[in-house]
Structure 1
Amino acid sequence: MQKEVLIKNDGEVILYPFLFSSTESDQLFLDLNDSVKWKQDIIHLFGKTMPLPRLTAWYGDEGKSYTYSGIEQHPEPWNSTLKSIKSKVEEISEVTFNSVLINLYRDGKDSVSWHSDDEPELGKNPIIASVSFGATRRFSLKHKISKKDKVDIDLPNGSLLLMKGETQHYWQHQIPKNYKLLDRRINLTFRVIKPV
C-alpha cells in the first residue's frame, strides 16, 4: 500500500493516501453522515463561551470516556460502519483501538486550532489513527521547539494519517479554516484510552 513518511524526527507521522477506494469512501461518508449522533459542544476559551467550530461525536468501548478542552465525552456504542473502518485501520496500524473521536467539518469555516493530543488518558506515546472522508482539507504540523519545522499536507477522501511515537510531545497540529470550501468532511481519530 502506498505510504508517505511526513515526519521521522521527534515522532513519526505517516500518510496512507488511499486506504479506502473512492467508491468505498463516498459510501462510508454517507453512512457516517446519517448514522453518527452528532452534537455541538461548547468550549470555554479566554474567558468566553462559544460553540466548537465543528460537530463531534465520541464512540468506543464501554467506560472509555475522554476529556479535552474541558469537554467530557462518554462513548456511544460502536456501530457496524465504525467497526468496519476500525478493522481496516487496525490492520495497517497493528494497534487495537478502543475509541474514536469523530469530527464533522460542515464547510471551510469549521476548523480545529493548534493542539497536541496529549491528554493523560491517552498514555505516554499515543498512537492516533486519523481517517478522512469527504472534502480534502489541509492538515498542518509544527514543531513545538524548532518553529521552522513545519509540514502542510492535504488529506484526501479515504486517507489514513498515523501519528506515532513522541509526535504529541514535540508537534502540534491543526485543520485551518478555508473560506472558499463549501463541502463537508468527516474525520475519525482512533485512539487507545488507558487508565489514568
Structure 2
Amino acid sequence: MAPTAPVARNVAPAGTRQAWMRKDQIHTQKQFVFEKPSEVERKVPDAGVIDKPGVYELSTLPTGISKIHLIPGFIDSEQADWIFEQLLQDIPWGQRTHIRQEISFEEPRLTSWYGELPYTYSRLTMQPNPSWHPLLTMLRERIEEFTGYTFNSLLCNLYRNEKDSVDWHSDDEPSLGKNPVIASLSFGATRTFEMRKKPSPVDDFLQKYPSSCPQYLLPNISDQLSLVKHEVCSFRKCDIPVSKEENGDYTYVERLRIPLDHGTLLMMEGATQEDWQHRVPKEYHSRDARINLTFRIVYPESEGT
C-alpha cells in the first residue's frame, strides 16, 4: 500500500485562537457599552422686574394667556394720601386665625371682607358683609369704569410693617370661577409683589432632556407626555424620572418682581391664577404700613364651579 500523502491542515499557531477571541470579546464589549449621559446643567433664572406701566403677557399655555396690567399713579399722590388715612381708621381690620394639622396660627397681616357672599380661602371662611364703606364704593366704581369689569366683592389687606406678609398662593378658589379677574389697588408704603410660574411638565421635560425626543415629535410633545404623580413620566417608550418641580420644587421656574407703589393699580387677568402664583414677602428693612384692596367677582359655589 502506498503511503498516505500528508493532508495539509490550517492550524493556527499555539495561542493565536485564544488571542483572537480575546480581541473579539474586547471589541464586542466596547460596541455594546453605553455610558450614562451627563445631566444637563440647569441654572436658576434671575427674576425679571416689571416697574413700567403697560400690559404684559406672562405666558401662553393650553389654559390660556396669563396677563397683567400695571397702572402706576392710578390714584394721584394727594388723593392717595387722604384715602390711605381714611381706610386705616375706618375699616374694621381683624386678624384671622388658621388651623393647620391641629396647630393654630395667626395670619401675618390684618384683613377685612366686603361682599354679599361669603368667601373661603385656605379653609378659612369670611362671612358676608354687604355694608360697603362709601370710599370703597367710590374706588370700586372708578376701577370698573377704567377696566370695563364689574366687581361685587373686596378683600382688604393691611400690612402693618415689614414683618407682615402673604405666602405663595393663587386666587383660584371655586367661587371665583374660571380665569378670575383681580384688581389690586395699593396705598401706603411700597412693597414688592412677587410672581412665579407654576411648573409645566412640558417645559421641564425640554429643559432636562433636550435631546431625548425626535424633532418631529416636539410639536406634539404635549400629547406625548403623560404624568404619573409618584412614579415616572412616560414619553413613548422612555421612562423619565419625575422632576423636582412635580414634587413641589420651584427652583427653576420663571419669577417676577413688581414694586407696587402708593396709588398703583395692578390687574391680573386670563389664566394668571391657573398658571402663576404670587406673594408679598417679608422685608429685611423697615417698612411703614401698606393697604392693599383686591376687588374680585365672587359667584355662588354652584355657579363658580
Give the TM-score, by structure 1 length: 0.94
Structure 1, gaps ≥5 residues long: none
Give the C-alpha shift of residue 46 in structure 1. Answer: 4.9
2:180 equivalent to 1:126: yes
Does the alignment pair 1:73 with 2:126? yes
The answer for the alignment partner of 1:183 in structure 2 is 288
Secondary structure in 1 matching 2:73: coil
CA contact (8 A) 2:180 2:297 kept: yes
**Which residue of the partner structure matches residue 150 of structure 2?**
96
- Distance, in Å, in 1 between the alignment partners of 2:90 and 2:79 is 16
In structure 2, the residue matched to 1:35 is 90
- Quick one: distance in 2 between partners of 1:137 and 1:22? 16
Match of 2:69 in 1: 14
Partner of 2:209: none
Tell me how far 1:69 sits from its aligned partner: 0.8
For residues 145 and 108 of structure 2, what CA distance do their matches in structure 1 show?
32
Structure (1 or 2) with the greater strand fraction:
1
**2:109, 2:160 within 8 Å by CA — same for their partners in 1?**
yes
Q: What is the match of residue 85 of structure 1? A: 139
**Corresponding residue to 2:80 among 19, 22, 25:** 25
Q: Which amino acid aligns with 1:9?
A: S
Q: Secondary structure at the match of 2:59?
A: coil
Q: Runs ≥4 in structure 1, deviation > 3 angstroms?
A: none
Determine the C-alpha separation between the residues in 1 that align with 2:277 and 2:284: 22
Report how far residue 74 of structure 1 moved.
1.6
- SS of residue matched to 1:97: coil
Question: Which of 1 and 2 has greater Rg?
Answer: 2
Separation in structure 1 between the aligned mates of residue 159 and residue 256 of structure 2, nearest angstrom:
21
Specify the alignment match of 1:3 in structure 2: 53
Look up the SS of the partner of 2:88 in the other structure. Answer: helix
Q: Distance between the aligned counterparts of 1:185 and 1:156, measured in 2?
A: 9
> Is the 1:6–1:151 Cα contact (8 Å) retained in structure 2?
no
What SS does the corresponding residue of 1:50 show, helix, strand or coil?
strand
Distance 1:47 1:143 in 2: 31
Distance across 2 between alignment mates of 1:164 and 1:68? 19
2:20: which partner in 1?
Answer: none
Give, in angstroms, the shift of residue 5 of structure 1: 2.6
Give the unaligned 5+ runs of structure 2: 1-51, 61-65, 201-251
Q: Which whole-Å deviations, capped at 9, do the CAs of 1:50-103 have from their partners, x for residues lacking one?
A: 11000000012x2x1100011111233111110111011111221110000000
Count of residue pairs the alignment pairs up: 193
- Tell me what 1:115 maps to: 169
> Are the equivalent residues in 1 in contact too, given 2:198–2:253 (CA < 8 A)?
no
Matched position secondary structure for 1:58: strand
Alignment of 1:128-167 (within 5 A): 128-145=182-199, 147-167=252-272
Report the CA distance between 1:145 and its aligned residue.
Answer: 1.3
Higher percent of residues as helix: 2
User: What is the CA distance between 1:182 and its match in structure 2?
Assistant: 3.1
Q: What's the Cα RMSD here?
A: 1.4
Secondary structure at the counterpart of residue 172 of structure 2 = coil
Q: Percent same amino acid among aligned pairs?
A: 45
State the shift of 1:44 in Å.
2.2
